[in-house]
Copies of this chain bind each other. A is one copy, B any other.
Amino acid sequence: MKSIFYTRFFILLPWILIVIIVIDIDTKRLSVRNTASFYLSRLGNVHGSNATSLPVIYAITPTYSRAVQKAELTRLANTFRQVPQFHWIVVEDSNSHTELVSRFLARSGLRYTHLNVFTPRRFKRTGMPRATEQRNLALGWLRGHRSVKDKGVVFFADDDNTYSLALFEEMRSTRRVSVWPVGLVGGRRYERPLVEEGKVVGWYTGWKAERPFAIDMAGFAVNLQVILSNPRALFKRRGAKPGMQESDFLKQITKVEDLEPKAKNCTQVLVWHTRTEKVNLGNEPKRQQDSVYIEV
């Protein structure tokens, strides 16, 4: 009798142990996974479990060679690195990829596309719109490399502005064309679309209030599918008037009443039109240079 009891005990005990261990593994694995995704989501990391289903933000940044260029790109990349599902389209105003920008992008840790197109000298005059060729090349790239299957939002991110991380989460849900306030622009603390009952009904601006879309380049985003389904929508070079680039472009793809207000019905400033001072290089040595070459 005793022997049968022991036999049964030794047969049952390990099976009970197995059941306990298996249950234990499942809960532990789950908790490890939860802890990891908690930190990853706090960091706004692209590797988070839901990140890949988010629409990609395509930020189009025209840039040109100057003393502060690498500094500007550095702080821009420091911001963009924290935006999940982000694709940076950098378009140089040059005849070829410069070494500085190529090296910088390769080390940035960001997903990027590096393009270049030189703006003819006759267009580089005061009062002429800037970066037209660069923005249009980026739009062309999107039309050539993305299709109806791709979920995305397109945003024009000049290299001297200041962006809060919250801005990108606002624009990510853009269905057609979304708008929001921009700080430090048009001679005012901010400009913004005026919103009534969820619709844009006018513009708070101190400059050229008669513009159809009285908005800065940093004040709107466009769903990728709108860019693809309007293949001829481009920034105008011929006949373009100062300050009319945004309006000329937006009227090709939307109407004021269809705009989607973001940032709490356009009552929050999440992007600033900062400008960096031109650098004084008056003490740069005329002849005797430094003993080493240093990229700045």
Query: Distance in Å from the Cβ of A174 to the closest Cβ of chain B?
Result: 21
- CB within 8 Å of B: which A88-146 residues: 109
Of A17-25, A226-234, A236-244, the one with at least 4 CB within 8 A of chain B:
A17-25
A53 beta carbon closer than 8 Å to chain B: no
Total interface residues on A, CB under 8 Å, equals 70
> Is A269 a contact partner of B284 (Cβ separation < 8 A)?
no
Chain B positions within 8 Å of A47 at CB level: 39
Contact of A192 among B25, B45, B79, B294 (CB under 8 A): B294
Flag if B75 contacts A162 (CB, 8 Å): yes
- Interface status of A148 (Cβ within 8 A of chain B): no
The reply on A210 being an interface residue by CB < 8 A is no
Residues in B with CB closer than 8 Å to A186 are 283
Establish whether residues B190 and A294, one from each chain, have CB atoms under 8 Å apart when the complex forms. Answer: yes
Q: A14-B15, A17-B18 are in contact. Are A71 and B296 (CB under 8 A)?
A: no
A283 & B188 in contact (Cβ 8 Å cutoff): yes
Contact between A68 and B284, CB atoms less than 8 A apart: no
Give Cα distance in the complex from A136 to B205, angstroms.
42
- A2 CB–B CB distance under 8 Å: no
Stretch at the interface among A54-62, A253-261, A271-279: A271-279
In the complex, besides A187-B284, A188-B284, 13 extra interface pairs with C-beta distance below 8 angstroms are A7-B7, A14-B18, A28-B29, A32-B36, A43-B45, A68-B184, A70-B183, A75-B162, A81-B82, A188-B285, A206-B282, A206-B284, A276-B277
Question: Which chain A residues have a beta carbon within 8 Å of chain B's beta carbons?
Answer: 7, 10-11, 14-15, 17-18, 21-22, 25, 28-29, 32-33, 35-36, 39-40, 42-43, 45, 47, 67-68, 70-72, 74-75, 78-79, 81-82, 109, 162-165, 181, 183-184, 186-190, 192, 204, 206-207, 267-269, 272, 274-277, 279-285, 290, 292, 294-296
The 10 closest A-B pairs by CB, nearest first: A206-B283, A187-B283, A14-B14, A71-B272, A71-B162, A275-B277, A78-B79, A183-B296, A187-B282, A36-B36
